[in-house]
Amino acid sequence: MSSPATVSRPDARTVLVTRRFDAPPAKVWRAFTEPAIVSRWMLGPPGWTMPVCEMDVRVGGTFRWRWQNTETGVEFGFHGTYLEVDPNRLLRNSEVFDPGTMGGTMGGEAQIAVTLTQVPDGTDVSTRITYATGEDCEAAVSTGMTDGMEISYQGLDRVLAA
C-alpha cells in the first residue's frame, strides 16, 4: 500500500520527493510519459484544469504543460526538453517555469530526474529537482510559499512527479 510522499532537501539547490505506487514500473512509466494519462492526474488542487499537455518523450524532444484556473482564468505552465529517456527506469528533463498570468518565479532552468525502482509491492518513484544555484532554489521555494505555492509547486511536482 502507498504511504504519503516524502519531501526533503538533500542540499541547498535540490528538492527530492519520493513516493511508492502499488503498480509495476511499466504502468507507472506510462502514467508519467503518455500525455493522455498525465493530463488526467497532474491537475493539482481542485479548480484547475490542464488544457495543454504536449509531450514528445524522446531525447531532444520537448514538453509543454499549462494549467488554468476555471474560476479566475489564471494560467501558468512549464516547458522543457527531455535529456534522458530510459523506459521504466529514468526520465530526465530540463524545466522552465512559465509564470503566465499567475506571476512568480522559479529561478532559472531546473533539471528534473524521475527515477522508477521496482520493489516487491510496486514501484518507488523519486523526483529530484535540481536548480542551477541555491538562490534559484530559494526563489522556487518562496514562489511556492506565496499564494502560487500550491499551484506552482504542484505543477512542478506533478510534473516532476510525472
By CB under 8 A, name the binding residues for other proteins.
2, 4-9, 12, 15, 17, 19, 21-24, 26-31, 37, 40-45, 118, 120-122, 127, 134-135, 137-139, 141-142, 144-146, 149-150, 153-154, 157-158, 161
Indicate the residue among 44 and 77 with the shorter CB distance to other proteins: 44
Question: Measured between alpha carbons, how far is 121 from 140 in angstroms, rounded to an integer?
Answer: 34
The strand ranges marked E within 6-74 are 6-11, 14-21, 48-55, 62-69
Indicate the residue among 49 and 146 with the shorter CB distance to other proteins: 146
The distance of closest approach from Cβ of residue 71 to other proteins in the complex, given in angstroms and rounded to an integer, is: 18
What residues contact residue 22 under an 8 Å CB cut-off, 6+ apart? 1, 2, 121, 122
The distance of closest approach from Cβ of residue 74 to other proteins in the complex, given in angstroms and rounded to an integer, is: 17
Indicate the residue among 50 and 82 with the shorter CB distance to other proteins: 50
Indicate the residue among 22 and 84 with the shorter CB distance to other proteins: 22
Under a CB-based contact definition with an 8 Å cutoff, are residues 33 and 57 in contact? yes
Write down the residue that cell numbers 499564494 correspond to.
147
Strands 48-55 and 6-11: unpaired
Q: Is 3 exposed, middle or buried (0-12, 13-18, 19+ CB in 10 A)?
A: exposed
The distance of closest approach from Cβ of residue 7 to other proteins in the complex, given in angstroms and rounded to an integer, is: 5
The distance of closest approach from Cβ of residue 81 to other proteins in the complex, given in angstroms and rounded to an integer, is: 22
